[in-house]
Amino acid sequence: MGMVFCRGCGKEIHESAPLCPHCGARQGLARTGKSKVVAGVLALLVGTFGVHRFYLGQWWGIFYILFCWTLIPWIASFIEGIVFLCTDDATWEEKYGRG
C-alpha cells in the first residue's frame, strides 16, 4: 500500500518519496522553480533585452542588453523561447526547478 514506480528507473518506491532511493530521480513535478511558459513568452516578446535570462536568475542576460542593437539577441532569444516552450516538464524542472 502506498507504493508507486519510480519515474527514472521503474523500481517500486513509496509514494511520498521526493527522490528515488535507487537512482536519485526526482518524483513528481512540484512547481518550485521558474515557469517555462513565462520564460518562453518573455524570450519571445522581450528577449532582445535578456529579460528571460534575468527571470531565470542568470546574470549573463546583460550581454543581450549590450548587443541589443544587433539582431543577434533577437535571433537567440527567439530560438530559446521556442526551445523553452517545447521542453518537457521533467527536463525543465531538473534544470530550472530548484529556484
Residue 8's pLDDT is what?
Answer: 80
Task: Decide which of 25 and 54 is more confident.
Answer: 54
Residue 52's pLDDT is what?
Answer: 95
Same domain (yes/no): 18, 36? no
Q: Total structural domains in the chain?
A: 2
What number is the average pLDDT over the span 15-21? 82
- Kindly give, in sequence order, each residue whose CB lies less than 8 Å from that of residue 44, ignoring residues fewer than 6 positions away: 77, 78, 81, 82
What number is the average pLDDT over the span 70-85? 96
Task: Write out the residue range of the structural domain in which residue 4 sits.
Answer: 1-29
- Cell representation of residue 41: 513568452
Q: pLDDT-based confidence at 90, cuts 50/70/90?
A: confident
Q: What ranges in 13-88 are assigned the alpha helix state H?
A: 36-46, 51-55, 62-66, 72-86
Residue 32's pLDDT is what?
Answer: 57
Same domain (yes/no): 6, 17? yes
What number is the average pLDDT over the span 47-59? 93
Question: Does pLDDT of 66 surpass 60?
Answer: yes
Same domain (yes/no): 25, 5? yes
Same domain (yes/no): 21, 45? no
